[in-house]
């Protein structure tokens, strides 16, 4: 899941160590006020050199990375506390409820209050029924375009594997394109007309797993994201193939923001959203 670089090994290691210090500070308190000059100083780099190296290692800017950490923290507070949404907003570093709600909806797929309500609605056994409904579906399709992926998972892994197609910013495509599997390690996903490129994300949920982990995936869950956009030429029966290895995310990997149960609901039956 690391990004390509042209630096020498010793230079790359120094960059990883420097940026890692900055990320550790960001993770300690995502709601703290941090400017990029301070982060660059912690990394012992000039501001612009830091921005360039940071994006090279993570794929996003420090600002985007911090936003992801703040929304991850907000999701945790919404799921594990009874704090009001406005208090959650302030706790994760936002002074404007409107801005917080807009960013949360953009990254998660639903507003903060709706996220909490959905988690309550799909508490056990609701989510397990939804998962079973999706696993038991039989879909017959004849796609013009498809993405075929071979997934490598740890030998001892037993559980559900979620795979979905996303855009470059790891936001779900519309309509949602996803697959949920248990035994298979090969997935062939239809690509809707008009879509010319996408990224595949796959994440494993080992048995037993609690419902809230689908709303707030643990950082230790095996995860894989295609490093580049897969392209679809739009020709009849055109198929793109990739290989992904699921492994524990590293310090430079963004937390998964998307509400996976919401994607499952949209894909299985829209009546659940009424």
- Residue closest to 78 by CA, chosen among 265, 259, 267: 259
- Number of C-beta neighbours around residue 11 at 10 A: 12
Contact between 68 and 254 under an 8 Å Cβ cutoff? The reply is: yes
- 84, burial (CB in 10 Å: exposed 0-12, middle 13-18, buried 19+): exposed
Mean of pLDDT values over 227-251: 70
Higher local confidence (pLDDT), 104 or 253: 104
Beta strands at 223-225 and 230-231: parallel, antiparallel or unpaired = unpaired
Contact between 229 and 197 under an 8 Å Cβ cutoff? The reply is: yes
pLDDT in tens, 18-63: 999 999 999 999 999 888 888 898 888 998 999 999 988 888 889 9
Q: Does this chain's domain 9-120 share its CATH topology with 126-273? A: no
Separation of alpha carbons 102 and 47, rounded Å:
28
- Dig out the tokens for 18 from the structure: 């420097």
Q: Rounded to an integer, what is the distance from CA 96 to the centroid of its chain?
A: 24
- Dig out the tokens for 252 from the structure: 């430079």
Cβ within 8 Å of residue 35, ≥6 positions away = none
- Dig out the tokens for 141 from the structure: 């399709």
243: confidence class by pLDDT, cuts 50, 70, 90 = confident
Contact between 199 and 170 under an 8 Å Cβ cutoff? The reply is: yes
- Residue closest to 87 by CA, chosen among 114, 32, 95: 95
pTM score: 0.84
Provide long-range contacts, Cβ within 8 A and 24+ apart, for 229-232: 229/168, 229/197, 229/198, 229/199, 230/147, 230/197, 230/198, 230/199, 230/200, 231/196, 231/197, 232/145, 232/147, 232/191, 232/195, 232/196, 232/197, 232/198
Cβ within 8 Å of residue 29, ≥6 positions away = none
Cβ within 8 Å of residue 3, ≥6 positions away = 56, 57, 58, 59, 227
Instruction: Tell me which DSSP letter residue 149 carries.
Output: E
Evaluate if residue 233 carries a pLDDT over 70. Answer: no
Q: Which fold has domain 9-120?
A: Arc Repressor Mutant, subunit A (1.10.10)
Domain 126-273, classified CATH 2.60.40.1120, yes or no = yes
113: confidence class by pLDDT, cuts 50, 70, 90 = very high
Domain ranges in the chain are 9-120, 126-273
pLDDT in tens, 125-172: 888 888 888 887 655 444 556 778 889 888 888 999 998 888 777 778
């Amino acid at each position: 899941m690391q990004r390509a670089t042209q630096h020498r090994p010793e230079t790359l290691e120094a960059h990883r160590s420097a940026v890692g210090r900055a990320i550790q500070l960001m993770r300690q308190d995502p709601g703290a006020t941090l400017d990029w000059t301070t982060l660059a100083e912690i990394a012992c780099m000039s501001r612009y050199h830091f921005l360039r190296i940071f994006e090279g290692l993570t794929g996003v800017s420090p600002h985007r990375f911090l936003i992801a950490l703040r929304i991850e923290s907000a999701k945790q507070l919404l799921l594990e506390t009874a704090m009001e949404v406005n208090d959650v907003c302030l706790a994760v570093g936002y002074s404007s409820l409107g801005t917080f709600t807009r960013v949360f909806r953009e990254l998660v797929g639903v507003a903060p209050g709706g996220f909490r309500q959905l988690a309550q609605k799909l508490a056990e056994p609701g989510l397990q029924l939804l998962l079973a409904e999706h696993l038991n579906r039989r879909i017959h399709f004849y796609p013009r375009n498809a993405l075929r992926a071979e997934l490598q998972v740890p030998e001892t892994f037993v559980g559900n594997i979620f795979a979905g197609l996303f855009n470059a910013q790891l936001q779900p495509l519309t309509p949602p394109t996803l697959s949920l599997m248990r035994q298979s390690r090969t997935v062939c996903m239809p690509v809707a007309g008009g879509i010319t490129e996408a990224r595949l994300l796959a994440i494993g949920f080992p048995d037993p797993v609690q419902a809230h982990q689908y709303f707030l995936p643990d950082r230790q869950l095996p995860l894989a994201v295609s490093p580049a956009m897969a392209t679809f030429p739009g020709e009849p029966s055109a198929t793109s193939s990739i290989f992904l290895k699921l492994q524990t995310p590293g310090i430079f990997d963004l937390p998964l923001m998307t509400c996976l149960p919401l994607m499952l609901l949209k894909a299985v039956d829209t009546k659940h959203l009424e």
